[in-house]
Structure 1
Amino acid sequence: MKNYKDQFVFKIKRHFLEVLKTKTSDHSVAMGFAIGSFVAILPTPGISFLIGLAIVALFKTINKYALFFAMLVWNIWTLAPIYWASYEIGEAIFGKADVIKFEVDEWDQVFDYTLRFLVGNLFLALPISTISYFGVRWMVRKWRVKRHR
């Protein structure tokens, strides 16, 4: 068990150092991580990697290593509590709002739960991405200053 943990920690550190050693600006690295965080937090299982590829293809200045590193960081274990909180925030926003009536009762529930979850998810994804931008930018600057001494 410990061997797997050591390998995982080694891989994470190696990827993080690859991100830090790139010749791009602090802003590019931080923006890549923030956008990768936003995409990973959104409920897009299975296609988030494809969305990341599209973003890297469209925006050449974004650090692709940081973007995909963020997607690695936001895995199922870190997203589970965020998804739970997303629904709770949506529930707090909508409260006892009227449910749109479809012909099938199950569709009413699916629409209601999905709406609450997605709105709550956006309320979490935006601040988490913003905070991760400033946090990563600060860490990259600090590491690069320390490295140049």
Structure 2
Amino acid sequence: MKNYKNSFTFKLKRHFLEVLRTKTSDHSVAMGFAIGSFVAILPTPGISILIGIAIVAIFKKINKYALFLAMIVWNIWTLAPIYWASYEIGQAIFGDSEVVVWEFEQLDQVFEYTRRFMVGNLFLSIPISVLSYFLVRAGVRRYKRNRV
């Protein structure tokens, strides 16, 4: 297990340095990481990579390495507490509101859980993405300043 962990951290550091060494602007790298963070945090299992590819294809100035690095950073181990917090925030927002009555009780429960989770997830993903933008931009600026 230790070799895997060292290998993973080595690869992560190597990819992060590749992002820092690109000739793009600080804004492009930070925006790529922030958008990648937003997409990765949203509960889109299986299609987040496709969403990332579409974003890179549409917006050419976004740093694609930073976007996909963010998706690597936000893996299942880092997202588990965020998803839990998403539901708790949704629970705090909606409280004991009435459940929409469907023909099947299971649909009521699915709708209620999904509504709470998605709203809470938006309340978390937006500030985390904005914060990651500023942190990555400051880190890239510091790296480029020390490198020169």
Normalised by the shorter chain, which TM-score bucket? over 0.9
- The one-letter amino acid paired with 1:84 is W
Q: Distance between the aligned counterparts of 2:78 and 2:10, measured in 1?
A: 19
User: Residue 39 of structure 2 aligns to a residue in which SS?
Assistant: helix
2:53 corresponding residue in structure 1: 53
Structure 2 residues without counterparts, runs of 5 or longer: none
1:75 corresponding residue in structure 2: 75
2:24 corresponding residue in structure 1: 24
Task: Measure how far apart 1:98 and its partner are.
Answer: 1.1
> Matched residues, percent identical?
74
Q: Distance between the aligned counterparts of 2:76 and 2:67, measured in 1?
A: 17
1:138 corresponding residue in structure 2: 138
- The one-letter amino acid paired with 2:43 is P
- The one-letter amino acid paired with 1:18 is E
Q: Distance between the aligned counterparts of 2:55 and 2:66, measured in 1?
A: 12
- The one-letter amino acid paired with 2:41 is I
TM-score by length of 2: 0.99
Task: Measure how far apart 1:5 and its partner are.
Answer: 1.5
Structure 1 residue 39 and structure 2 residue 16: aligned?
no
- The one-letter amino acid paired with 1:114 is T
- The one-letter amino acid paired with 2:123 is F
Structure 1 residue 10 and structure 2 residue 10: aligned?
yes
Task: Measure how far apart 1:4 and its partner are.
Answer: 1.3
RMSD value over aligned CA atoms?
0.5
- Spell out, residue by residue over 1:32-88, the C-alpha distance to the aligned partner (whole angstroms, 9 max, x if none): 000000000000000000000000000000000000000000000000000000000
User: Residue 23 of structure 2 aligns to a residue in which SS?
Assistant: coil
TM-score by length of 1: 0.98
